[in-house]
Homo-oligomer: A and B are copies of this chain.
């Protein structure tokens, strides 16, 4: 059987720096960092800094803020609400990632989202300012378009995975992806979120995650070193589960 391609493990883009001042929001993130220095300066003037404590919620469906948020430090967890109100973790934003589709679109896009913070500092660009820039510098739109296309691809891939693979396979693919992204020399990687969150992300329960990891260990694919750190013993095997 052919070796599988890997799916995404919840990282939206790799950006390991810890952003210093709120200005670096602009100069370091992909959607702006291709601009000329003067153009970035112009945008920086409109940027405001903000920070959130753990557990705070930036916005929810009923309470739409209309700004674009760029993560400076910390993480933002983005949940989507299903029709019956159950929530699924769809993405975790790391420094350099952005959110706030409300700022980008007019219509009825303002629903079914919730976002939770983990001691985060962000840069904020208000809707009106952003709209100006989009028209003035078309290349920003193209960058955002690229980002959206990438997210869309990722989301559809995940949907297809939900539709066609069983939980065990989804977990195995997730582990392989995480391992692939960390490329630690020790042959190990760290789970990027709690098993509770992971269960939400993969559409299963913490109990099942526990059990499947135990199974995978028993079958010799992985070895659990600590709670969060996992050693991969047989990557190819993982990808064929």
Residues on A close to B: CB < 8 A?
A: 2, 4-7, 80-88, 90, 101, 104-107, 109, 111-112, 134-135, 138-139, 141-142, 144-146, 148-153, 155-165, 169, 173, 200-203, 239
In the bound complex, residues from chain B placing their C-beta under 8 Å from that of A164 are 82, 84, 86-88, 203
In the bound complex, residues from chain B placing their C-beta under 8 Å from that of A109 are 149-150, 153
In the assembly, what is the distance between CA of A163 and CA of B90, in Å?
A: 10
In the bound complex, residues from chain B placing their C-beta under 8 Å from that of A138 are 134-135, 138, 141
Listed residue (A101, A151, A159) with the most chain B CB atoms within 10 angstroms of its CB: A159
Q: Tell me the number of copies of this protein.
A: 2
In the bound complex, residues from chain B placing their C-beta under 8 Å from that of A5 are 83, 111-112
In the bound complex, residues from chain B placing their C-beta under 8 Å from that of A144 are 145
Q: Offer 30 A-B interface pairs, CB within 8 angstroms, sorted by A.
A: A5-B83, A5-B112, A80-B156, A80-B157, A80-B159, A82-B164, A83-B161, A83-B165, A84-B165, A86-B164, A86-B165, A88-B160, A90-B156, A101-B149, A104-B145, A105-B145, A105-B146, A107-B146, A134-B138, A141-B142, A144-B145, A145-B145, A148-B148, A148-B149, A148-B152, A155-B156, A162-B162, A162-B163, A163-B202, A164-B203
A7 CB to closest chain B CB, in angstroms?
6
A148 to chain B: closest residue by CB: B148
Cβ-defined contact, B160 with A82, below 8 A? yes
In the bound complex, residues from chain B placing their C-beta under 8 Å from that of A81 are 160
Cβ-defined contact, B4 with A163, below 8 A? no
In the assembly, what is the distance between CA of A105 and CA of B169, in Å?
A: 30
A152 to chain B: closest residue by CB: B152
Cβ-defined contact, A163 with B203, below 8 A? yes
In the assembly, what is the distance between CA of A107 and CA of B117, in Å?
A: 31
Listed residue (A109, A112, A138, A165) with the most chain B CB atoms within 10 angstroms of its CB: A138
